[in-house]
Amino acid sequence: MTTVAPSYREITDSNGRVYRIGESPRDIMGRPRWLMVLLPWIGMMGISVSEYAFGSAEETLHDAHGWSATNIFWLLSVWVFFQAAVAFPAGYLRESGKLSARAAMLTGAAGAFLGYLALSHAPNIFWAYLGFGFFGGAGAGVVYATCINMVAKWYPERRGGKTGFVNGGFAYGSVPFVFIFTTYMHENNYQSVLDLVGVYVLVAVLVAGLFFKDPPKNWWPAHVDPLKVDANARTLLKNPPAVRQYKPKEAIKTGMLPLMWVCLLFTAGVNIFGIAFQVPFGKEMGFAGGIVALAMSLKAIVNGTGRGVIGWISDLVGRRQTLTIVCVILGLAQFAVLWSGSLGNMPLFLLSSMISGFGGGAIFPLFAAMTADYFGENNNATNYGLVYSSKLVSGLLGSGMGAVVVGAWGYGGAFFLAGGTSLAAGVLSLFLRQPGRPRHRAATAPSGSTLTPASEGASG
């Protein structure tokens, strides 16, 4: 019995960008493409525990291991550093064909699992830095980068909402563990708890990753004509496809990728600062442990769900416009958290925490979708890896240096600095624009609206 390979054709717009049309997701991977939203979401849920629930485990780790608060905050910084550092090299290996999506997920699952074993059984802080910080952070980074870019590849025509949904799993997936670490885990059972969490992460990422598969380069869904944007959807009018497929060096030379890097540096640092210090700040202000855990859980829930909502909004309003609004919201929320905590006003503290979580989470799907909007899908893993590498620095600033600022200026000075930093990112975001597209045509169809067949053939 012989099988006939599905036919496809390549069309080219007047900018020279090629679209490969004709193959359905079932032709390529034997499954519907919505699975490439669900499965990455499961993978992101798995690795979410390490970052968003870590602050809730700080007290137990201090009591069980005798590590200082500063050592523990720097432990999170090391994790964040390697979680971000691996994005670009992993993206390069993925785009060059040296690392498949499935292999990337399996590798990441192993690293994340080793991280929890180290956090549970490390004899001293050095081994925790090596195991949880390096292996755990790098493993989570590979999973994160693979999941986010998978969605962008399979939904090039409306990636905002889908990317936001998947990205949201990285936040609200941690909610049960915030309560477990805060109210259940203690120095007599912490090893069992952390070991079981490690197994959960391993299984979740493994199961999801086994079914990952990339579409061919330049793939575009057949039911959407990329050359007739005005007839397709408001989404493509507000966020038109990149004028061409930019390689990393080309993306850097446009000036837009470095500007995105700085904007993400500022906002991600503020987000990590909130994750690391909201729990200890709330406790110092006199709120009970359960209230602080609730605040952190609400922050994680809104952080995650807000990513999906803001992604959908950005599809309709425009990515850059939405980003500016989010930066302002995140900045003002830092002042609100400080004010409500200082007043001892619990309802306002919870509300401020939720708003801060919304702003802190929304930035990530916006940058992920914007990278593909500006520079194309073919090299998105490496291009977004470059943008996301700003978290290398923001992790150190948000958590490690945040501890230094809190020690020197107190929580008041630290929260004021965080709020001002996010507002500055909002100003910088006003200068972002899609490379190669004239300003007055940024919200219109790609230049040229005629179909130009480039080639026809069969996938092989």
| Alpha-helix residue ranges (DSSP H) falling in 181-288 | 190-209, 229-232, 234-238, 248-253, 256-284
Judging by beta carbons within 10 Å of its beta carbon (0-12, 13-18, 19+), is residue 286 exposed, middle or buried?
exposed
pLDDT of residue 166: 92
Residue 26 burial (10 A CB sphere; 0-12, 13-18, 19+): exposed
- Whether the predicted pLDDT of 455 surpasses 80: no
Under DSSP, is residue 131 helix (H, G, I), strand (E, B) or coil? Answer: helix
364: pLDDT strictly greater than 50: yes
Judge whether 334 and 270 are in contact, CB under 8 Å. yes
Q: Which of 171, 164, 110, 120 is nearest to 142 (CA)?
A: 110
What region does 255 belong to: left with phi over 0, alpha with psi -120 to 50, or beta? left
Q: Are 160 and 312 in contact (CB under 8 A)?
A: yes
pLDDT higher than 80, residue 341: yes
Distances (CA, A) of 13 to 215, 228, 241, 447: 20, 10, 11, 8
Cα gap 191→197, rounded to integer Å: 10
Distance CA(331)–CA(376), nearest Å, equals 30
pLDDT band for position 400 (50/70/90)? low
Q: For residues 46 and 28, what is the distance between their CA atoms, to the nearest angstrom? A: 27
Please give the average per-residue pLDDT across 29-33, as a whole number.
93
411 contact partners, CB below 8 Å, separation of at least 6: 277, 281, 284, 338, 341
The torsion angles phi and psi of 395, rounded to 5 degrees, stand at -65, -40
Q: Which CATH number applies to 9-447: 1.25.40.10, 3.40.640.10, 1.20.1250.20, 1.10.286.10?
A: 1.20.1250.20
d(C-alpha 240, C-alpha 227), whole Å: 10
pLDDT attached to residue 454:
37
What values do phi and psi take at 7, rounded to 5? -85, 155
Q: 396 pLDDT exceeds 50?
A: yes
State the Cα torsion 143-148-150-151 to the nearest 10°. Answer: 150
For the ranges 363-367, 430-434, 450-454, the lowest mean pLDDT is seen at: 450-454
3-state secondary structure 368-437: HHHHHHHHCCCCHHHHHHHHHCCHHHHHHHHHHHHHHHHHHHHHHHHHHHHHHHHHHHHHHHCCCCCCCC
Query: How does residue 229 score in pLDDT terms, banded at 50, 70 and 90?
Result: low
pTM (2 d.p.): 0.80
pLDDT, tens digit, 9 for 90 and up, residues 108-163: 999 999 999 999 999 899 999 999 999 999 999 999 999 999 998 999 888 888 99
Q: Where are the domains of the chain?
A: 9-447
**255-299: pLDDT as tens digits:** 999 999 999 999 998 888 877 777 678 777 777 666 766 776 777
pLDDT, residue 5, reads: 63
Supply the pLDDT for residue 238: 83
Task: Work out the percent of the chain whose per-residue pLDDT is above 90.
Answer: 44
Are 419 and 332 in contact, with CB atoms under 8 Å apart? yes
Question: What is the rounded CA–CA span in Å between residue 49 and residue 44?
Answer: 9
* 96: exposed, middle or buried (Cβ count in 10 Å: 0-12, 13-18, 19+): exposed
In this predicted structure, the answer to whether residue 442 has a pLDDT above a threshold of 80 is no
Q: Is residue 452 very low, low, confident or very high in pLDDT (cuts 50, 70, 90)? A: very low
Q: What is the pLDDT of residue 327?
A: 96
Q: CA–CA separation, 36 vs 210, rounded Å? A: 12
Highest mean pLDDT range out of 76-85, 146-155, 182-191, 389-398? 146-155
- pLDDT over threshold 60, residue 420: yes
Across all residues in the chain, what is the average pLDDT? 85
- Quickly state the pLDDT bin for 447 (edges 50, 70, 90): very low
